[in-house]
Amino acid sequence: MTMKPLLAFILVLLCVSTSYSQLPDGTLVFSSKPGTVIGNVAQRMASRKQGYPARYTHVGIVLGNHIYHADMPVVAIRNSFKPNEVVAYQLPTRQYSSQEIERMKRYAKSQLGKPYRLRGFRLNNGEEGWCSTFVGQVLNQAGHNITKQQRFTPDNLIRAVR
C-alpha cells in the first residue's frame, strides 16, 4: 500500500462522525471482536484464508441511516454497533446515484433474515459467504465488480473498494 491511500484512509477515520445518520450511503463500517470466542475464531480463519494477519473480523454497510450486515444468527439491520466494536469507517469511493442506492437497499433488504453461521450464509447459487461477501454483493448492485476473492474477508474487501 502506498502512503497516499493509507494517509487518506487515516484522515477519513479521524474526520467521520460516529453518528450513523450523518454517514453517506455506501459507507463501510469495519469492526473487530478481539477477546471473544467468535472474534478469535473469525480472525484466525480470515488470517489463514488471506495469508496475512486480519485486522477486521466484521463489516457492514450504511444504507438509509442503518447498518446492514451478516452476523450470527441472521443477516440483519442495525441502527448502530456497540461502541467497543467499531474500528474503522471507509467512506464511499464515489457518490452513488439514487438508483444505485435503491438497488443496494433492495438487495440488502431481500437478504434480511437469511440464516448466518460462523461459516457464513447461503448465496442464491448455494455457495456460502461471509459478512464481507454480503457487503460485496450489496456493492455489486451499484455497478462495482467485486470478485469472489476480493470479498472473501473484510480486509480483502477494503482493498477492493479503494
Confidence band for 2, pLDDT divided at 50, 70 and 90: very low
pLDDT at 105 over 90: yes
Return the percentage of the chain with pLDDT > 90, whole number: 26
**Number of folded domains that form the chain:** 1
pLDDT per residue as tens digits for the range 42-61: 777 777 777 878 788 888 99
Number of other CB atoms surrounding residue 80 within 10 Å: 14
Return the percentage of the chain with pLDDT > 70, whole number: 72
Cβ neighbours of residue 32 closer than 8 Å, sequence gap 6 or more: 39, 43, 55, 56, 57, 58, 85, 87
Range of the domain at 92: 3-160
Chain Cα centroid distance, residue 125? 21
CATH number at residue 92: 3.90.1720.10
Mean pLDDT of 123-150: 81
pLDDT at 4 over 90: no
Q: Write down the residue that cell numbers 478469535 correspond to.
A: 40
Beta strands in the chain (DSSP E): 28-31, 58-63, 66-71, 74-78, 86-90, 121-122, 128-129
> How confident is the model at residue 14, as a pLDDT?
37
